[in-house]
Amino acid sequence: MREMRPSDIALYEKVEKALSDVSSDGWHPGLERVSVLLEALGTPQAFPAIHLAGTNGKGSTAAFLESIYRAAGYKTALYTSPHLIHLGERLLVNGYPLPPELWAEASQKVAQTILGHPWLSQHRPTYFETLTAAAYLLVRDAKPDVAIIETGMGGRLDATNILPDCRLAVITPIDWDHMAFLGNTLSAIASEKFGIIVPGRPAIFSDNHPELAPEFRACCAAKNSPAYTMDECRIFDAETSLDGCEFSLTTPCGTNRWFSRLLGTYQPENASLALRATEILQKDFPVTEEARREGLRTVRWPGRLEVVSRDPDVILDGAHNPHGMKALTDSLLALYGKDRLLTVVFTAMADKDYAGEFSYMSSRLKIRLICTRVPHNTRCESAQVLAQKATGYPFIDVPLAVEDPVAALEKARGFSDPVILCGSLYFIGSMRSRLVSSDEWR
């Protein structure tokens, strides 16, 4: 893989603009537009796929699956969102992003198809629909043995949910998520996520809310799809450190002890879901125990409890909702204990429940809080507003407001305590590009 150059980043940005220029604004439910677009493009999505939906953990689970199958010798494609630094991260083939020139060709084909199609030119697809169509063109041309596809939002009406050769639907933990679009009950949200289940093909659910299991099984039964839940498995003796996590897992196929390089008390759950998925698909895509071990050992998932430097530790994490903050807090407790003072550099989009995040982290950890913002992002809450809101919670010292994120990080490093950057994936992406060499994109 060539080193990422500024010209590559600029070309990826041109691709984004080209797709945006032919897209409608916002999110408009429905699969009609993307279905018509994909048909006009020659149905590029007819590749063997594993499809993932869920509220949290689907990116990590997808990364585990891709890493295992690549370790087993399969040619893989991995489509995820959002990206942290550049568009190319969203689609990896055999673990690497494609050259931006290929993205430019695919985006041009999508744009020309939309502008030259009487119906599509009047009913413009959304940006994520055009992006997914371009990605599916690239996956088709790459000819992978298996493509791991993560939904953008929801499932039933998500632009990714047109996969005629989906071998397995994977449902990761479900929680409160995009209620304005998906519904204001867990059952309604789950129904949208379960919408990726394909008739006659198996599906597995993490079963983090057991009360949703009957709904999952009913959905599978209605589609004549074999149903699997993780209550058939047991995770035990989990340990986490700055080197990774170890855990034991019992499945219907036996008991083993595993190691993953991804940090976090929640990663054994994600890794176990991926391991069980490979067992279910053993006839489709045979893998050895050795490949599973190698896949877990070498997996990468940037910006999610990622240690980017030591002395002091600097950790990036994309937690941006209360459920994600709970997972981050639990992991930090396991790594450092409840008495270690941590410095958290935090920012959030104005429409997020950052009060819920403040409440959870301040009540369980000893935290010195520095609030900042993502430059030039109009959705981002100001550092001053965040710090003012945070004063009502039991942080150590008065929360600070440092508008410039680089200055905020330097301020945090000056305290010599472990530094945690979190609150927004936009923030993590912008800071990771400064903290990690450009050729270490993932």
d(CA 287, CA 408): 46
Quickly name the fold that domain 6-298 has: UDP-N-acetylmuramoyl-L-alanine:D-glutamate ligase (3.40.1190)
The letter for the amino acid at 399 is P
Q: How many Cβ atoms sit within 10 Å of the Cβ of residue 300?
A: 16
pLDDT confidence tier of residue 180, bands split at 50, 70 and 90:
low
Given a cut of 90, is residue 5 above it in pLDDT?
A: no
Given a cut of 70, is residue 1 above it in pLDDT?
A: no
pLDDT value at residue 437? 64
The encoded tokens of residue 85 equal 């630094």
pLDDT value at residue 401? 97
Contact 160, 43 (CB under 8 A): no
d(CA 419, CA 402): 15
Place of tokens 């992991």: 331
pLDDT value at residue 179? 53
Q: What is the pTM of this model?
A: 0.92
Tens digits of per-residue pLDDT, 357-396? 999 999 999 999 999 999 888 899 999 999 999 999 999 9
Q: What is the mean pLDDT of residues 26-50?
A: 95
Q: Could you tell me the residue ranges of all domains in the chain?
A: 6-298, 306-435
Given a cut of 60, is residue 409 above it in pLDDT?
A: yes
Contact 68, 168 (CB under 8 A): no
Q: Kindly write down the DSSP assignment for every residue of 89-150, as one continuous string.
A: GGEEETTEEPPHHHHHHHHHHHHHHHHT-HHHHHSPPBHHHHHHHHHHHHHHHH--SEEEEE
Among 17-21, 23-27, 139-143, 371-375, whose mean pLDDT is lowest?
Answer: 23-27
117 burial class (0-12, 13-18, 19+ CB within 10 angstroms)?
Answer: middle
CA 427 to each of CA 347, 398, 404: distance values in angstroms, whole numbers, following the listed order: 7, 22, 11
Contact 438, 4 (CB under 8 A): yes
pLDDT value at residue 441? 42
Of the candidates 115, 90, 103, 168, the residue with the CA atom closest to the CA atom of residue 141: 103
pLDDT value at residue 28? 83
Tens digits of per-residue pLDDT, 155-171? 999 999 999 999 999 99
CB neighbours of 102 closer than 8 A, spacing ≥ 6?
138, 141
Q: What is the mean pLDDT of residues 90-119?
A: 97
3-class state of residue 80 by DSSP: coil
pLDDT value at residue 29? 83
d(CA 197, CA 201): 7
Contact 336, 417 (CB under 8 A): no
Tens digits of per-residue pLDDT, 209-268? 889 999 999 999 999 999 999 999 999 999 999 999 999 999 999 999 999 999 999 999
The letter for the amino acid at 117 is H
CA 99, 295, 429, 31 dihedral sign is positive
Place of tokens 């209605």: 222
pLDDT value at residue 64? 98
Contact 300, 442 (CB under 8 A): yes
pLDDT value at residue 440? 46
Given a cut of 70, is residue 65 above it in pLDDT?
A: yes
What average pLDDT is seen over the chain? 93
pLDDT confidence tier of residue 26, bands split at 50, 70 and 90:
confident
pLDDT value at residue 113? 98
pLDDT value at residue 277? 98
Indicate the CATH number of 306-435 among 3.40.50.880, 3.40.605.10, 3.10.20.30, 3.90.190.20.
3.90.190.20
Place of tokens 């279910």: 280
Of the candidates 353, 368, 363, the residue with the CA atom closest to the CA atom of residue 408: 368
Tens digits of per-residue pLDDT, 110-144? 999 999 999 999 999 999 999 999 999 999 999 99
Tens digits of per-residue pLDDT, 284-340? 999 999 999 999 999 999 999 999 999 899 999 988 777 788 889 999 999 999 999
pLDDT value at residue 280? 98
pLDDT value at residue 2? 57
